[in-house]
Amino acid sequence: MTAPLIDPFARAITYLRVSVTDRCDFRCVYCMSENMTFLPKKELLTLEELDRMCSTFIGLGVQKLRITGGEPLVRRDIMTFFRGMTRHLDSGALKELTLTTNGSQLEKHAQALFDAGVRRVNVSLDTLDEAKFAEVTRWGRLPQVLRGIDAAQAAGLRVKINAVALKDFNEDELFSMTQWCAARGIDLTWIEVMPMGDIGNENRLGQYWSLKDVRKAYEGGYQVTDLAERTGGPARYVRLEDTGQQIGFITPLSHNFCESCNRVRLTCTGELYMCLGQEDMADLRAPLRDHPDTEAPLQDAIRAAISLKPKGHDFDYSRQSVDGQMTRHMSHTGG
């Protein structure tokens, strides 16, 4: 029962991304509609169930756990879960516990996260312009996020900025954001906008800014060196020799990264998505709740799900249409 999780394409699954809530205190235009309907709380896994679920995955060879949402830090008592995961870091079974956040709650929780064993956080930040930040997040407050980043660094957390590349929105901030990050010793990763969920009046094709163009822009202003480094996720990295910082590119549209995929995603309701860009999923909440005294049925369900992991996703904007569109919002699957 402790054999590693291997998918049909001989990829070892060692990375689990867990959404602990679909709720968020922002309404980013590429992620959510402005008037979201959230899941009833009774459908969500309890913190105790999340602990048991993640512990089972760790027992099956998962070594990296990334906590996501929604905004994970808005979940009530979420630090109880982080403190629970510390035991797996202490035992050596879990190599890394980290999270992706919008930064709004970091000022409050940064030190507690560090104390629980978190050493890296990814902060989603698409602009340093306060008016544009309010526009893209609808509800967000940039100064609050910047204070959170300061608190995270003060607590000893390594911060990486994740910026969604948005055409005609943050193109003009490519160099200013890069320089802002460099001055703070922060690495920066750009992400192509993905076709996830119905976002109302927003136009996916209008938002799409290819990272091929971002890379060309960097080459026009910096000496760029390709890096072999991978962090267990989908990003490919370069180093800007002028600043010494690392720049990542997550390119689900312009360059499919599926051949090395080692991750699966668990929703806050216990649905396991073997691929972000496919609708197939496995219900793990039922075996978790139906068998509270034994792990075997849950382990069997996890193995059965991994055996169905597809080779890759079908995101495609090349035909001037949004092919591969997912019906679920990014906040449901986990960012």
Residue 5 lies in a domain: no
Residue 275 lies in a domain: yes
Q: Long-range contacts made by residues 235-244, C-beta under 8 angstroms, separation at least 24?
A: 235/189, 240/178, 240/182, 243/178, 243/179, 243/182, 244/182
**pLDDT computed for residue 107 by the predictor:** 98
**pLDDT computed for residue 252 by the predictor:** 67
What does the alpha-carbon distance between residue 117 and residue 204 come to, in Å, rounded to a whole number? 38
CATH number at residue 307: 3.20.20.70
Full-model pTM? 0.87
**pLDDT computed for residue 256 by the predictor:** 54
Sequence-ordered alpha helix ranges (H) in 196-295: 204-207, 211-221, 285-290
Residues 6+ apart with CB under 8 A from 180: 128
For the chain, how many structural domains are there in total? 1
String of DSSP letters for 23-45: --S---TTT--SS--PPPGGGSP
Q: Is 324 left (phi over 0), alpha (psi -120 to 50) or beta?
A: left
Residue 10 lies in a domain: no
Evaluate whether 93 touches 86 at the Cβ level (below 8 Å).
no
Residue 133 lies in a domain: yes
Work out the angle between the directed axes of helices 47-59 and 78-91 (0-180°, nearest 10). 20
Residue 4 lies in a domain: no
Residue 128 lies in a domain: yes
Query: Among the ranges 132-136, 190-194, 252-256, 321-325, which has the highest mean pLDDT value?
Result: 132-136
DSSP collapsed to 3 states, 120-157: EEEEECCCCCHHHHHHHHCCCCHHHHHHHHHHHHHCCC
**pLDDT computed for residue 331 by the predictor:** 55
Residue 9 lies in a domain: no
Above 80 in pLDDT, residue 223? Answer: yes
Evaluate whether 305 touches 66 at the Cβ level (below 8 Å).
no
Among the ranges given (222-236, 243-257, 316-330), the one the predictor scored with the smallest mean pLDDT: 316-330
Residue 27 lies in a domain: yes
Q: Which domain holds residue 53?
A: 15-333
Query: Among the ranges 176-185, 221-230, 244-253, 276-285, which has the highest mean pLDDT value?
Result: 176-185
Q: Is 192 left (phi over 0), alpha (psi -120 to 50) or beta?
A: beta
Question: Counting beta carbons within 10 angstroms of the beta carbon of residue 230, is it exposed (0 to 12), middle (13 to 18) or buried (19 or more)?
Answer: middle
DSSP structure class, residue 254: T
- The distance from CA 97 to its chain's CA centroid, rounded to whole angstroms, is 13
Above 70 in pLDDT, residue 318? Answer: no
